[in-house]
Amino acid sequence: MTSSSERQNSSDTSRIVYVTCPNEEVAKRLSRGLLEQKLVACVNIIPSVTSLYLWENAIEESTEHLMMIKTEQKHVAELTNYVNQNHVYEIPEVISVKIDAGSEKYIDWIRKSVKPL
C-alpha cells in the first residue's frame, strides 16, 4: 500500500535526465545555464564515475562527472538542445528516464519549479 506522501505512477511528465561531463567545471556551467532558464528544478553532480565506452572502434575508459537532472518532459527537447550546444563533447550523453513513482511533494516541487510552456 502506498502512503499519502508517496504515489505509484505519480508522474506522467516528470523525468530524470543523465548527462556526463569531463569535469566538475563543465557540469556546474551546464547546470547553472539550465537552472537560469528554468528548464530544470535540480541538478545533482556525482563526481568520479568511471565510464567505459566504444569510440572510433576502440574501448575507451575515462573518469567523468554525472549530472542527474530533474525536470519535466515538456523541457527535455530544449534541455537536450542546450546541452548539445554548450557541452565540450562532440556527442554528449543526454538520456531521459521517466519517474514512475516517488515522493508526491518532491514531484510536485519539480513541476512547480520549471517554467511553464
pLDDT tens across the length of the chain (117 residues): 455 455 444 457 999 999 999 999 999 999 999 999 999 999 999 999 999 999 999 999 999 999 999 999 999 999 999 999 999 999 999 999 999 999 999 999 999 999 997
Residue 85 three-state SS: helix
pLDDT in the model for residue 8: 46
In eight-state DSSP terms, residue 1 is -
Strand partners, 95: 18
pLDDT in the model for residue 6: 53
CATH for 17-113 (3.40.50.2300, 2.102.10.10, 3.30.70.120, 3.90.1300.10):
3.30.70.120
C-alpha cell at 79: 534541455
Residues 6+ apart with CB under 8 A from 69: 16, 17, 18, 19, 31, 34, 40, 42, 43, 79
